[in-house]
Structure 1
């Protein structure tokens, strides 16, 4: 059973809903590091959005994601973060801890799961990831999908 607060999470419903994207079918992707403290989502920033569960059955969770690319149509590509340990799992890139996790837990980025986000479907309440850690994620995405 969901609560009213969960129903109104940005990215959960409607035209600004966060959806899973097939990374091999999104066309040419140019990842970039361009965070700007302007209130708008930018590649290199960690933002919060509704992330549907992989079963795609309507359930999901409000969670942090790393924006990795801006698409021509005004949408963004992002990869989800998790605080669950994924040591040694090649689909997960360790990025350590940061202000996106209030308790300071280490995080991993799921390079195997790409999400398409809309500007209205995100909360801009997190931070920019530093360039070194962003480049670790970028390299993994380049290796997996041939993105530039």
Structure 2
């Protein structure tokens, strides 16, 4: 039975990706992006990178309210809180540019999932960073096996259709560490 669920999950992901590629799923309102003719040079990320990542809409902005944290991972091919997924993340200073990276999903608000960007850069040596980052260790979301940290001071709003793939489920114990720090920093429930 588990094998069958995995196959349906894979098929569902392939169908969603195909629909996004064909432009059937989540066309942008009011304008059609120009097709990317060449990939951006290494180190440059912009609209072509967004199109390659399957992002079709505009970024609604970072989440600034309070939300309820939820741990509900489910191996069903759909993104759920408690899972680490890959998606396009806009740069803070320019939401029209960004890059594809791992994100820990922590809850939802309306039609958006709420996520925290992961980084492999170690911030333990910085006094301010102790409040803004939580160590979550290593996992299959990083091919090089580097330890990761969740960035707490920026909460991303992500449309589920813009998630490229599921990376893994974060252990409940590690999710609790992140959730406890989010509650302290943002006053979440």
TM-score, normalised with respect to structure 1: 0.87
Question: Larger helix proportion, structure 1 or 2?
Answer: 2
Stretches of structure 1 that go unaligned for 5 or more consecutive residues are none
Q: Alpha carbon RMSD of aligned pairs, Å? A: 2.0
Aligned match of 1:99: 140
CA distance in 2, matches of 1:110, 1:85: 11
* Residues 94/110 of structure 1: CA separation in 2 closer, same or farther (3 Å cut): same
Aligned residues between the structures: 141
Q: Where do 1:34-113 residues align within 5 Å?
A: 34-56=72-94, 58-71=96-109, 73-88=110-125, 89-90=129-130, 91-113=132-154
Give the distance between the partners of 1:128 and 1:10, measured in 2 at CA.
22
Of Structure 1 and Structure 2, the greater strand share is in: 1
Structure 1 or 2, whichever has the larger Rg, is 2
Moved over 3 A (4+): 17-20
| Higher RCO, 1 vs 2 (CA within 8 Å, ≥6 residues apart) | 1
Answer yes or no: is the 8 Å Cα contact 1:67–1:79 preserved in 2.
Answer: yes
- What stretches of structure 2 of length at least 5 have no aligned partner? 1-37, 41-47
8 Å contact from structure 2 (residues 79, 166) kept in 1? no
Which of 53, 61, 66 is the equivalent residue of 1:9? 53
Classify the secondary structure of the residue corresponding to 2:153.
coil
